[in-house]
Amino acid sequence: MNRRELLQAGALLGGAVLGQVSTALAQESDGSVEFPPGFLWGSATVAYQVEGACREDGRGPSIWDTFSHAPGKTRNGDTGDVACDSYHRWREDIALLKQLGLKSYRFSIAWPRIQPTGRGSANQAGLDYYSRLTDGLLEAGIRPLATLYHWDLPQALEDDGGWPNRETAERFTDYSRLVAQALSDRIGDWVLFNEPKTFTQMGYLQGVHAPGRKDPLAFLRATHAVNLAQGQAFRTLKEIKPTLLVGSAFDVSPMLPATVSAEDQAAAVTADALLNLWHLQPALMGDCPAGVLLADRQEDILGFRPGDEAILRAPFDFVGLNYYTGFRVSRVPRGSGIPGADVRAEGAIVPGAPRGKTDIGWVIYPGGLHEILLRMHQVTGDIPIEITENGCAYNTRPDQDGRIRDDARIAYLRSHLKELHRAIKDGVPVRAYHLWSLLDNFEWAEGFAQRFGIVFVDFEQGQKRMFKDSGHWYAQVAATNRIS
Ligand code: GCO
């Protein structure tokens, strides 16, 4: 069972400034749609998923090194030790982006390259790597969009308690300062956290991601520490350079009640609060959504201290949204009296989603992108939105003639981009789209078994990179700014 197949909220509780996006969009009679002028087409990767070179140039171990090397934690015992070897092949990766005609590249910075033990002064070799990568992108006319935390906590900080320990928020703030001091002269756009819900839940509650803990209280404390870190790092970056554009990336999904019963409808509201808003609302409003934990115990459970409300606040310049699938939500009473504990959200086929599943087993639900964008827009208001990830796993391999005919991915992307276009037409201020992913890579607990790339990586044959048909198709989209 992998993470987006079953998200059991119940189990989790215990049991470069872009052009103005105009909303006047053309809809051609042949069904093709045109995106607003200046819309930014991009792609994304993540340090641990592509870089490899885990012991080079002073990088320290992260929780993902430890976790992936522990027996039975990842499929086939795969690790990110080598991954796509992007640490050495970054020039090749930039050349691919350039050939695709993309104008934004989302990548992440590995904390243990910058601070091998999660504290102290910066490891210059680590900063130099990201400095070279940034210069290479800028020379290629590509906007760097840097994520500060994409799941690779230095192991030494986990040994001190990890994210459930609120000291980790201080460490993250220090790390963010070091990175911004070194790179904010060239990187203007920053994502603080990637999918805080997912890494806290999978890592501290369900134990299927690093660091592999299964502790409901630790999980809830971790969510609060991350929210504190988000606010603190936001202010730190702004102090260093007020013109930086700072946001976070949240994975969001429409929560559809499994039946019309009042219980399931209430459960869907709770799931939305816990799974879509838990890390966004604290940033925008200074509190956690109500109705998930016991009202009179919430602060106590999360480890709130006086003054935290102000620390949590991060008035984002943009909000990043990752979208993959929708969930069907039902109420499954478990007798604890805690609303969030009685919610079950699963990736079973949802009404209006008759298109089956991708190879990783996630339900294909393009309309959910439109739905969730309208939903999030109610919360984010005028704040610009960037799609920081959207894509699919299809494990298509090269045919005899060497061509990779991943038509299913093209169909997935086309249908989702049409829904994105519809949301923009309906007034949601989305200014960028980052396809997940540029490269086939290390898909966390799934190892190399799931291929999300528009570029095929031959992990057995010297890391050879080859465009899939979807890569050629996406290049066309970026060149014409339209979906036909
Ligand atoms: C995430 C990450 C990516 C994943 C992608 C597909 O959402 O988990 O941001 O690292 O690889 O989403 O699962």
Q: Which atom of ligand 1 approaches the CA of 393 most closely?
A: 6
Q: Is 419 a catalytic residue?
A: no
Question: Token digits for 414?
Answer: 């086309």
Q: Mind listing the pLDDT tens digit for each residue in 141-152?
A: 999 999 999 999
CA 124 – ligand 1 centroid, Å: 28
Mean pLDDT, rounded, of the chain:
94
Mutate which of 2, 46, 206 to test ligand 1's pocket (most atoms within 8 Å of Cβ)? 46
Quick check: CB of 443 below 6 Å from ligand 1? yes
pLDDT for 415 equals: 96
Quick check: CB of 389 below 6 Å from ligand 1? yes
CA 359 – ligand 1 centroid, Å: 15
Are 428 and 377 in contact, with CB atoms under 8 Å apart?
A: yes
pLDDT for 163 equals: 98
Quick check: CB of 158 below 6 Å from ligand 1? no
Tell which residue, 174, 178, 147, 279, has the closest CA to residue 222. 279
pLDDT for 8 equals: 53
pLDDT for 21 equals: 41
Atom 4 in ligand 1: which residue has the minimum CA distance? 443
pLDDT for 317 equals: 98
Residue 389: strand pairing partners: 322
CA 337 – ligand 1 centroid, Å: 33
CA 191 – ligand 1 centroid, Å: 14
For the chain, give every domain's residue range: 42-257+316-324+380-477
Question: Token digits for 128?
Answer: 């130099």
pLDDT for 11 equals: 47
Quick check: CB of 195 below 6 Å from ligand 1? yes
Q: Which atom of ligand 1 approaches the CA of 388 most closely?
A: 9
Q: Is 139 a catalytic residue?
A: no
Which of 371, 389, 443, 446 is an active site residue?
389
Cα atoms in the 13 Å half-sphere on the side-chain side of 344: 11
157-to-120, 129, 236, 305 alpha-carbon distances in Å: 12, 23, 20, 22
* Measured distance CA(39)–CA(431) in Å, rounded: 5
Question: Token digits for 162?
Answer: 């990890």
Atom 11 in ligand 1: which residue has the minimum CA distance? 443
Quick check: CB of 152 below 6 Å from ligand 1? no
pTM score: 0.94
Tell which residue, 270, 376, 269, has the closest CA to residue 319. 376
Question: Token digits for 173?
Answer: 């703030």
Q: Which atom of ligand 1 approaches the CA of 324 most closely?
A: 12
pLDDT for 458 equals: 98
Residues in the chain predicted with pLDDT less than 50, given as ranges, are: 9-12, 14-24
Quick check: CB of 44 below 6 Å from ligand 1? no
Q: For the chain, what is the radius of gyration of the CA atoms?
A: 21
Are 143 and 103 in contact, with CB atoms under 8 Å apart?
A: yes
Which of 51, 158, 195, 386 is an active site residue?
195
CA 356 – ligand 1 centroid, Å: 20
Q: Which atom of ligand 1 approaches the CA of 49 most closely?
A: 10
H helix runs in 26-80, sequence order: 47-50, 63-69
Q: What is the CATH number of domain 42-257+316-324+380-477?
A: 3.20.20.80
